[in-house]
Amino acid sequence: MSDGELGFTSNEMMTIAASRALKNDDVCFVGIGAPSAACNVARLTHAPDITLIYESGTIGTAPQVLPLSIGDGELCDTAVTTVSVPEMFRYWLQGGRISIGFLGAAQLDKFGNINTTVIGDYLHPKTRLPGGGGAPEIATSSKEIYITMAQSKRGMVETIDFYTSFGHGEGGDHRKRLGIDTAGPTLLITDLAIWKPDPVTKEFTVVSLHPGVSRAEVQATCGWTVKFSDTVEETPAPTALELKTLRDLQARTKAAHAATGKEKAA
């Protein structure tokens, strides 16, 4: 996949497209993995004043390498301050101070409901996943939720095996009927497209295709019948600065973690 001058991968396009959705004044609760990469690319490019918060209680963190987990020392070392986990959730999250909760998913349905608990039956699962952590609370208490994940029929399914983090439930006004007054999932960025929920049904709808991606490719990697917006745009390709920022971040991360591994081995 290429824009004619700069070569880039579908995962790089996904991360950069996700980073662009963040604003300089956002207070963002960051998930580990792809969300963390996107949030830090935003911080290192167009949103230098964004406030990144991780579940371990670090506020205003500015990691030079991507954390392996919420307990990575890099987060605390580079944070403006670190608070207790109860304070993080009660005061910051449930107090309505988080503008964006940025999450990943192992399984996702068309209404933005997320499964990170088990694949298969709960009591006899095919795969036991890491679990929800703070994601269920992030999904209901953040003002908005952004989700990023690579597309596959195994990941984007008609019905998720377990409701870890509530999205729009059965669609429509389901959140409102349950007394949840936050917006829920408002954006999905995959390695192929950008999706937004239909204003009425809340079903995710493709609004932009990444460069070189066809509608057929999107459908072939999605477990439900995909709906496309009346006007489907093309996602702008990554710029040289965006690619360099992401690749430098990934290179620093790889080098740092390799060094840590050698120290442990010694």
- Structure-token match 């068309």, residue found: 110
What is the C-alpha separation between 113 and 233, in angstroms, rounded? 25
- CB neighbours (10 Å) of residue 164? 24
- CB neighbours (10 Å) of residue 230? 6
User: Catalytic amino acids?
Assistant: 55
The rounded Cα 109 to chain-centroid distance in angstroms is 15
35: Cβ contacts below 8 Å, ≥ 6 apart: 18, 102, 103, 104, 146, 148
Q: Which residues of 114-137 are buried (b: 16+ CB within 10 A; e: fewer)?
A: bbbbbbeeeeeeeeebeebbbbbb
What is the C-alpha separation between 212 and 209, in angstroms, rounded? 8
